[in-house]
Structure 1
Amino acid sequence: MGLGSYWGEVIEVLREIIPVYDKVNSYISLGKDVEHRNRGIAGRVFPGNKILDAGSGFGNMSKTALKLCDGKISITLYDPLVPMLKNTGTHFEKTPDLINGVFEHIPFKNEEFDAVLCGYSLRDAINLRIAISEIHRVLKDKGRFVIVDLGKPDEAVIRFGVSFYLRFILPILALIAGGRLGLKFGTLYGTYKRWPQNKKLEKLLLEKFSKVEFEKDLMGGAIMIAAYK
């Protein structure tokens, strides 16, 4: 499970859409991206925590965590795209630590972080099982792995509805929000096809983590997960 050889194409698209990334994401999530980040992080990140924002993009998960903890957390943004990391400066009062890399080879020692946050990014792992194992490794005992992402409903009819939205409706919204660059968000459907169904993802997390809290919205098309080491 994971993107495998498709990863290179996805990364190149992500590099191109940096100028419209946030605006389009807000449109295609039907304006619920902020709510979902808050729901995923609340009660799972605490003042004094050391946080790894993995697949951070501009650090939206970290910004949410900062607000919820009155700025009293330590943050490392970790992303495969250097240009994405370079664009974080205007998003934080104090620039966090910035590290470039992929999920499958996280360059930190064992048990270094209190929480790892993945906002709309774990779906882009090259190898999902290895990515989850690496995240588990760098978490402290009782650490939390928070995922906010698209969900792939277990029920066939609902899954068809979500797929239809991603394949046909999303490109229209992305074009409205981001112009011609927005059309490149069509690759999102390719990542969704390779993403496991909700129950399978939960089972995969339970291979490494002791407990998984799995919340859904939009009929299972959006998921907020907390996995506990």
Structure 2
Amino acid sequence: MRYPQPSRGLRNYTGSVNKADLTKKPQAVSAMFDQVSTHYDRTNAVLSVGNDQLWRAATVRAVDPRPGDRILDLAAGTGTSSAALAAKGAHVIAADFSPGMIEVGKRQQAGNRNVEFVQADGMDLPFADDEFDAVTISFGLRNIVDPHVALAELYRVTKPGGRIVICEFSKPPAKLVRSGYFTYLNKVMPTLVKLASSNAEAYDYLGDSIKAWPDQKTLAEWMRVAGFSRVAYKNLSLGIVALHRGIKPRTGQ
């Protein structure tokens, strides 16, 4: 099944913007990710000191993909996370708002029939109600200008009884860990970015967006407000990352 292109917020952007800011204007964020798409996976591995593979594995376990499932992987980037889900036999829609990311992803996943790339706006998903057995987004919710709208959209397209998994940077609960982590974001990460990324300036936004993002309890409450039940979270890497889960209630529950 092929999906239409999103109706708003995703016009191809050809300006010179190479760095988004916390206003998270869709064109600027999309352009930024277009410009870092070529070396995106390599840069993630360097910046996470290899932990990205552990976080991805934890996300796959939480989603629990099953043969025949239809899964939406929002903010899928180059589709690395989508391929991990599809390896379990699910058909995965790898949705992203960056044409550059999708182009790289299509090359990397060429021949993988269980991964389908779709350009999509997280606040206006081009999918039917109750379409997916599971929805997931990794390190992308904080890049959407209104995460509340995105959560409502994820709820809409999830089947009753379906599951949501969000993997996102968070706030380490231990003060010492939190202090050390912010030192890394402010002092160490910029140096690593210069070595690993094709556009080091763009990654200034990464640290800013992480520091501005709310804590675990706040995101859990946002999910409940969107309608999800049985919401819970698990800290990964001492709370640097948190894995949130929930269920879309069945009718009458």
**TM-score, normalised relative to structure 1:** 0.89
Q: Which amino acid aligns with 2:223?
A: L
In 2, Cα distance between the equivalents of 1:156 and 1:177? 29
Distance of 1:166 and 1:38 partners within structure 2: 24
- Of 42, 66, 80 in structure 1, the residue corresponding to residue 86 of structure 2 is 66
Confirm or deny that 1:78 pairs with 2:120: no
Stretch of structure 1 that moved more, 158-167 or 53-62: 158-167
- Larger C-alpha radius of gyration, 1 or 2? 2
Distance in 2 (CA, whole Å) between partners of 1:189 and 1:209 is 29
| Per-residue CA distance 1:9-45 (angstroms, 9 max, x = gap) | 3332212111211101011111011111111221522
Map residues 141-220 of structure 1 onto 2, 5 A cutoff: 141-154=160-173, 157-178=176-197, 181-207=199-225, 208-220=227-239
Distance 1:5 1:28, change over 3 A: closer
Structure 1 residue runs of 5 or longer lacking an equivalent are none
1:105-144 to structure 2, matched below 5 A, reads: 105-144=124-163
Is the aligned partner of 1:87 residue 2:104?
Answer: yes
2:72 counterpart (39, 48, 52): 52
CA contact (8 A) 2:24 2:143 kept: no
- Quote how far apart the aligned CAs of 1:6 are: 4.8
1:181-216 Cα distance to aligned partner (Å, 9 max, x none): 234312101212331111111111122211123111
The range that moved more, 94-103 or 187-196, is 94-103
Alignment coverage as a number of residue pairs? 224
How far the C-alpha of 1:162 sits from its partner, in A, is: 2.4
Task: Answer whether contact 1:154 1:198 (CA < 8 A) is retained.
Answer: no
Question: What SS does the aligned partner of 1:87 have?
Answer: helix
2:34 is equivalent to residue 12 of structure 1: no
Q: Which moved more, 1:163-172 or 1:110-119?
A: 163-172
Higher helix share: 1
Q: Which moved more, 1:219-228 or 1:122-131?
A: 219-228
**Aligned letter for 2:184?**
Y
Amino acid at match of 1:123: R
Secondary structure of the corresponding residue to residue 106 of structure 1: coil
More deviation in 52-61 or 146-155? 146-155
Q: Secondary structure at the match of 1:46?
A: coil
Q: Which moved more, 1:138-147 or 1:38-47?
A: 38-47
Given the two structures, how large is their TM-score scaled by the length of structure 2? 0.81
SS in 2 for 1:224: strand
Q: CA deviation at 1:152?
A: 2.1
Letter aligned with residue 205 of structure 1: M
Task: Measure how far apart 1:157 and its partner are.
Answer: 4.8
Q: 1:7 Cα deviation (Å)?
A: 4.7
Q: One-letter code of the match for 1:164?
A: T
